[in-house]
Chain A
Amino acid sequence: MAKRDRLSGNEAVAIALRQINPDVFPAFPITPSTEIPQYFASFAANGEVDTEFIPVESEHSSMSAAIGASAAGARALTATSSCGLAYMWEELYIAASNRLPLALALVNRALSGPININCDHSDSMGARDSGWIQVYAENNQEAYDNMVQAFRISEHNDVRLPIMICQDGFITSHAVENIELLEDEEVKGFVGAYEPENYLLNPECPMAVGPYSVTDYYMEAKRNQAEGTRHVERVMLEVAEEFEKLSGRAYGLFEAYRLEDADRAVVMIGSAAGTTKDAIDKLREKGEKVGLLKIRLFRPFPADAIAEALKNVKAVAVMDRAEGYTNQGGPLGADVMSALFRARSSALAVNIVYGLGGRDVRVEDMEQVFAELKTIIDNNDAGETYRYMGVRE
């Protein structure tokens, strides 16, 4: 039985974690993700979970402790934002290369400098090549649902990779919105008990984790890691199908909103997708064929499925909430354009950097993007393919 509630994104994720009742949760606070371990600490203190909650002295330590716990055979996770993620850098690669199932509740926040506490995706985008699975949410409901599904994907024997469950700092993490929660028992049943195949605390099968690899073996280890990522799309869809049976809420690798017959599309990640849907509905009422492709799975990147979904559009704006400093645009732009190129798409594509450091995105801003796409189609010329939205020049 679903339970209607109203929660902030941070509360929603904390409740999902209470329902999951993981074995180990090491944490160090940083805005805007602090509330997740804060709520969870009170669940632990009140005996609502039997998790080993470990307050540590830094993010370097929180990720290290989560890695140690996962290697030992425990279901572990931590939470962070921005500079906290940056301070985990070395450990992110260690978690992924050791094929350790593990979750990170990431609340997206701009990286310094200038120092800023508000939302953009520069923190997680920087970690896009670390080997972690990255899943993003538009709203509190999706942040909750993604967290409930996280361990099933991460722990799957064909995958065995750490997973980052991302939501937009403040915009969803601190906004109270309506949400439907699953019952505790439903979540428990869905996530199931964790039964690792190989783990350090198994006396039957002694093993080493994280040894030095000489040149003769290193490349095989990296190739083996890539094998795990190859199964993520399939496993994620299988888990989503099962989740839909439980919750009634359907998830894919991305969401296609009014895209079927669209000649113009926006591709984006996160909370601004909801605002974009409002813009699309307004323009659709005027007969304009516009649509949205909202990324859910960003790493690994479902390039073929995205190119297929965009095959009928004439013009596309890929929106990046992070700079790439490539002189070409941001990371999502590069991935989508490469996917379109490989699919021999003839769509005219531009990459727009927006929303840095919490810069607001209004419905009118997104209407303007669709107007720019119309001009591109009319001129049959993409013009400047690397643009900014909402910036004072």
Chain B
Amino acid sequence: MSKHTEIRWHGRGGQGAKTAALLLADVAFQTGKYVQGFPEYGPERMGAPITAYNRISDTVIRAHSNIYDPQYVVVVDESLLETVDVTGGLKEDGAILINTERTKEEIIPHLKGYKGDVYVIDARKISMEALGKYFPNTPLLAAIVKVAEIMDKDIFLREMKASFRHKFASKPEVIDGNMKALEMAFEEVC
């Protein structure tokens, strides 16, 4: 049975949800998959809610629509739980991953009765510890790779290191911090 995974990202402009979706497409491509990573733009401004999407498949992807019934949802900014229908269409046998300081038990009442799996991660804490700055997308990328079983941890880390070396060619000093953020996220998502 061929595998087809659909993921929807909810973030705010400037938090890197689009970049995370593109990075996920990038790293899944390295494992031989067909991929799509694309943003949905509203008004381009910092702080406005934005949505980004991933399709990752064993077969050619032709659809160019947004994703309405994903297996996975990633919430980059938990304040969106109150204003955006983040669980809309989310499959009950899927999962939602939320960036929050709160525990899973504290978050569940805010999910409008969603019955699927719930994962939380404190991307702020990880990012501050590993990078000294708040870039939530790096930890969330690692966490969704684990939750959605996109690929093995070792392959993921290897590919991300190669990707960071390319992306941060002009500032190699940030590579170690980003790698640390990925590893911590892989361990801490629960």
Q: Is A175 an interface residue (CB 8 A)?
A: yes
Chain A nearest Cβ from B16, distance in angstroms: 15
Interface members, chain A 274-288 (any B CB < 8 Å)? 274-275, 277-278
Chain B nearest Cβ from A15, distance in angstroms: 15
Max count, chain B CB within 10 A of own CB: residue among A31, A139, A177, A278? A177
Q: Are A6 and B41 in contact (CB under 8 A)?
A: no
- CB-CB under 8 A from B66, the residues of chain A are 360, 362
For the complex, give the distance between the alpha carbons of A177 and B53 in Å.
12
For the complex, give the distance between the alpha carbons of A118 and B39 in Å.
11
Stretch at the interface among B29-37, B90-98, B144-152: B29-37
For the complex, give the distance between the alpha carbons of A170 and B66 in Å.
12
Q: Is A172 an interface residue (CB 8 A)?
A: yes
Q: Is B154 an interface residue (CB 8 A)?
A: no
Q: Are B39 and A275 in contact (CB under 8 A)?
A: no
For the complex, give the distance between the alpha carbons of A65 and B36 in Å.
36
Q: Are B26 and A274 in contact (CB under 8 A)?
A: no
Task: Please tell me the size bucket of the interface on A.
Answer: 20 to 34
Q: Are A275 and B41 in contact (CB under 8 A)?
A: no
Chain A nearest Cβ from B32, distance in angstroms: 9
Known: A117-B44, A178-B29, A178-B34. A360 touches B65 (CB 8 A): yes
Q: Are A176 and B26 in contact (CB under 8 A)?
A: yes
Q: Is B62 an interface residue (CB 8 A)?
A: yes
Q: Are A178 and B35 in contact (CB under 8 A)?
A: yes
Determine the main DSSP class of A at the interface with B. loop
Q: Is B181 an interface residue (CB 8 A)?
A: no
Residue of A176, A361, A363 near B36 (CB, 8 A) is A176
Q: Is A102 an interface residue (CB 8 A)?
A: no
For the complex, give the distance between the alpha carbons of A10 and B68 in Å.
25
Q: Are B38 and A274 in contact (CB under 8 A)?
A: no
Which chain A residue has the least Cβ–Cβ distance from B62?
A274
For the complex, give the distance between the alpha carbons of A118 and B65 in Å.
13
Q: Are B39 and A6 in contact (CB under 8 A)?
A: no
Chain B nearest Cβ from A141, distance in angstroms: 10
Q: Are B39 and A271 in contact (CB under 8 A)?
A: no
Could you list which residues of chain B lie within 8 angstroms of chain A, going by C-beta atoms? 22, 25-26, 29, 34-41, 44, 60-66, 68
12 contacts between A and B (CB under 8 A): A117-B44, A139-B62, A170-B38, A175-B36, A175-B37, A176-B25, A177-B61, A271-B64, A274-B64, A360-B66, A361-B64, A361-B65
Could you list which residues of chain A lie within 8 angstroms of chain B, going by C-beta atoms? 6, 8, 31, 117-118, 139, 168, 170-172, 174-178, 271-272, 274-275, 277-278, 360-363
